[in-house]
Chain A
């Protein structure tokens, strides 16, 4: 089976802009979770989608949003980018939120 894929792999944006990241889960996986990873903070949970519904949400501002499509692919959107949003954004897929398999991540740099 193909693994989790994320696009794009790298992004450079400026403050105030908006960005959309994409994640394609492993075939058959209905759960997609998103994490923000920064040095010293580890993996911070953003949200989880299961069968097109947001099932869990982390403690991030409303500028961070997501959605999941009927084919389980998921997108994450960040509006009004801030310098502090620079991070590696990882998505992970699982059958039902249990064992999660991570994608390679999208490295976002906000200038």
Chain B
């Protein structure tokens, strides 16, 4: 079953923060975050394994709440280059590594 992402779209000004959420009805083994710019392929951002760890690089980080089967992606002090569609992908326990993506969140960062 497809994970649910929220919000569907968000518009920011440069320097503002954003949070994108991803939730699943299944017990998850891992959560994957990707960003896709218009006309390009999705690019891997980070993976979170069950255990509630938080990961990040530069000003983009993510958390995974194993009990709630939810993950959040945090973008702080957004830059114009952050614009794009963010997808979360989930691998459920026992799914034999089947990665299922949400419908995506369109993030637009304006000057």
Contacts and interface: CB of A to CB of B under 8 A. Distances in A.
A64 interface: no
Interface stretch (B20-28, B42-50, B54-62): B42-50
B98 A43 contact: no
A56 B100 CA distance: 11
Contact of A99 (B47, B95, B102): B47
Interface residues of B, number: 23
B99 A97 contact: yes
A104 B34 CA distance: 14
Nearest to A56: B98
B6 to A, nearest CB: 14
Given A97-B97, A98-B30, A100-B32, A43 B87 contact: yes
Contacts of A99: 32, 44, 47
Contacts of B102: 42
Which of B2, B42, B47, B102 counts the most chain A CB atoms within 10 A?
B42
A45 B98 contact: yes
A31 B44 contact: no
Given A42-B87, A97-B99, A98-B47, A104 B41 contact: yes
Interface in A27-77: 31, 33, 35, 40-43, 45, 48, 50, 55-56
A103 B36 CA distance: 12
18 contacts: A33-B99, A42-B2, A42-B87, A42-B101, A42-B104, A43-B42, A45-B99, A48-B97, A56-B95, A56-B97, A90-B42, A97-B96, A97-B97, A98-B47, A99-B32, A100-B89, A103-B41, A104-B40
